[in-house]
Amino acid sequence: MTLALNEEELNDLKKKSLAARRLIIETVHHAGAGHVGGPMSAVDILVNLYFNQMNIDPKNPRGENRDRFVLSKGHSAIGLYSVLALRGFLPIEELKTFDSLNSRLQAHPDMNTLPGLDMSTGSLGMGISAAVGIALGAKLQNKNFRTYCMIGDGESQEGQVWEAADVASKYKLDNLVAILDYNKLQQYGWNGEGDTRESPVTEPEKRWEAFGWNVINVDGHNHEQINIAFNRALEICGKPTIIIANTIKGKGVSFMENVYLWHSRIPTNEELNDAIQELETGVK
């Protein structure tokens, strides 16, 4: 793994991000259920993890030495499913079963039904605790795999997140990397000025540093910065790392960006067509 991406690698990651965003919107529209804003903000991190960072094999999804990933903000499952499908863990056609009876792709991840999932999540705050346990278990068993965990900024209001952060620091879990999807917008939060919402968490860098974590701040939609951040995390010894990924809720479709109503709104036929057109023409 190199610190810099070449032009071909960078373009490939960008194309996969666009493809994943289209799958998210199409799937939610088809199902008539699901979340849009959070998955769209998280896509570039997920694509970079699954196509550029993690030691994984779709043909051996339970491999003992694989890297682990926990989506603590489990309501953004469709974003993870879309990336898993592109990576070969499930057929892309299966996305059409999302949130339907007996589907492997429920509204929140279920590790017992879908290969490639390392933890069932949904109740906010629990995923980071599970990730800490996985990383600690690796240390105790002298395993070399790494554990990655994505949390939401609204989720960071849960006290359990900070209990997990404290434990990770105490046990010096340098094999753990958390990613904060810092899109600064939650569906139900304090009202801001006009038709806006206050940011759910302020100065997250200082908070995580206070808990003894190594903190890296990046543009969460810039694959070059994301790649460098993950590689820097590999060099850290004696403490866990969190990457503060500054993102935009609804990223990629202009009328969805930074609009809290798109947290879980279903696109109409016209909105679906407009969104696909934007993604295909590279407007965003």
Q: pLDDT tens digit string along 185-208?
A: 876 665 555 556 677 788 999 999
For residue 1, is pLDDT > 60?
no
pLDDT of residue 281: 84
pLDDT of residue 3: 72
Nearest alpha carbon to residue 50 among 118, 138, 129, 120: 118
pLDDT of residue 284: 42
pLDDT of residue 197: 65
268, with CB counted inside 10 A (0-12, 13-18, 19+), is exposed
pTM of the model: 0.94
pLDDT of residue 283: 44
- Whether 200 contacts 184, CB under 8 Å: yes
Strand order in the sheet with 147-152: 68-71, 147-152, 176-182, 241-246, 214-219
pLDDT of residue 92: 98
What superfamily would CATH give domain 7-281?
A: Thiamin diphosphate (ThDP)-binding fold, Pyr/PP domains (3.40.50.970)
Dump pLDDT digits (tens) for 207-222.
Answer: 999 999 999 999 999 9
Mean of all residue pLDDT scores within the chain: 93
pLDDT band of residue 140 (cuts 50, 70, 90) is very high
pLDDT of residue 199: 79
- Whether 212 contacts 204, CB under 8 Å: no
Dump pLDDT digits (tens) for 157-169.
Answer: 999 999 999 999 9
Dump pLDDT digits (tens) for 7-40.
Answer: 999 999 999 999 999 999 999 999 999 999 999 9
Mean pLDDT of the region 50-70: 97
Q: What does 116-168 look like in DSSP terms, one character per residue?
A: T------STTHHHHHHHHHHHHHHHTT----EEEEEETTGGGSHHHHHHHHHH
- Bridge-based pairing of strands 241-246 and 68-71 is unpaired
pLDDT of residue 60: 97
pLDDT of residue 186: 74
pLDDT of residue 262: 84
pLDDT of residue 261: 82
pLDDT of residue 192: 57
Distance, CA of 39 to chain centre: 7
